[in-house]
Amino acid sequence: MTSLFRPIAFFVVLLAAAGGVLLVEYTRPKTLIVQGEVEATRIDLATQVPGRVSSVNVDFGDRVSAGETVVILNSPQLEAAMTAVEAAFLVAKANRNLVFSTRAEVIDARSAELERARAALVLAEKNHERIFKLVERSTASVQQLDEALNNLSAAQRAVQAATANLKLSQNGSSAEEKAVAEAQVAQAAAAVQRTSTDLKELTISVPIDGQVTARLAEPGELFSAGAIMLSVVDIDNAWFTFNIREDLLGDIAIGDVLDLRVPALNDRIVPGRIKAINAEGSYANWRATKATGDFDLRTFSVRIEPLTQDLNLRPGMSALITLQRG
């Protein structure tokens, strides 16, 4: 029995050891390495109006500050257009002033015409009254009375016309004419403002602090509207982007702090905090190979910001994180 018991006991011990190894291996967290890259804000500078490059104040690799002028363009066409719209604005203002005002000489002339018409009316009234009395005495004909009455009516209408002309000269143009004149001034002012804005676009300034990573503009070159002349990257505020499969998202959460390894910096460890996980998945990173019982896995963009900015980080550098599953 003793010789038979020893092999059995040894087999049981070996089986137990193998089972323990399998249990430890099964329960040990799985280590996964996920690769991402460094990113930073990039601004491509372009002009909204066509122009020829007059000067470029920066070169590739230079550091620039927000508000700094980097490129100056020249456009004789815009300068000529500015002269034209300014002249049109002056014409519109002069026309408005003419519509809204009446010369004193015109008012004086209309007043004199009214006084003359009133005097003629008084004379016509007296003549009509005199002829009427003569007709009653049969010393004047009815025809003379008709002529006197006609002259009286004409004098009355002349007074009405002179009164209207005087009021028109005092009041100036009509409300409709004044509205048109005001609209023409506003239209000309808008054209001046639009052209002035276009002229300001000939001076290109950088909106952020950063480093020039591309210089396409050279003095003398002609650029059309929208053509990129310079690229500036905010290298002082870099972050990390990882595309992580959806079956791994359960192991991370917003606010978690992870150690990121950057191979380009001699495997330097950069602590970072998960800032955001994209709310929408992108392309399928892992595709199913079985006909049934499996499905495609999408990836989600995860943004991780370093706890302390490292000025040696450059966009495009690889970064590695280790995820412990289980």
Residue-wise pLDDT tens digits, 153-170: 888 888 888 888 777 776
Q: In one letter, which amino acid is 73?
A: L
Nearest to residue 198, comparing CAs of 206, 208, 186, 190? Answer: 190
- 322 is written with which tokens? 């280790």
| Position with higher pLDDT, 67 vs 101 | 67
Q: Which of 122 and 52 is assigned the larger pLDDT?
A: 52
Query: 46: which 2 tokens?
Result: 């372009």
pLDDT tens per residue, range 236-258: 899 999 988 888 888 889 999 99
Give how far Cα 264 sits from Cα of 29, 61, 131, 316, Å: 28, 19, 122, 10
pLDDT at 24: 47
8-state DSSP, 72: E
Residue 1, pLDDT > 50, answer: no
**102-106, 141-145, 221-225, 299-303: lowest mean pLDDT where?**
102-106
Task: Copy the structure tokens of residue 325.
Answer: 């599953």
**Residue with the two structure tokens 């070169």:** 59
State how far the Cα of 181 lies from the Cα of 53, in Å rounded to an integer: 40
145 or 72, higher pLDDT? 72
What pTM did the predictor assign?
0.61
Q: What is the pLDDT of residue 138?
A: 74
Mean pLDDT of 288-297: 59
Out of 22-26, 89-93, 98-102, 264-268, least confident range: 22-26
SS3 171: helix
Of 105 and 118, the one with more pLDDT: 118
CA dihedral 140, 146, 151, 156 (to 10 degrees): 120
Give the separation between CA 84 and CA 76, rounded to whole angstroms: 12
* Residue 289 vs residue 207, higher pLDDT: 207
Question: Average pLDDT over the chain, rounded to whole?
Answer: 83
Instruction: Average the pLDDT over each of 58-67, 121-130, 202-211, 268-277 and give the range with the smallest value.
Output: 121-130
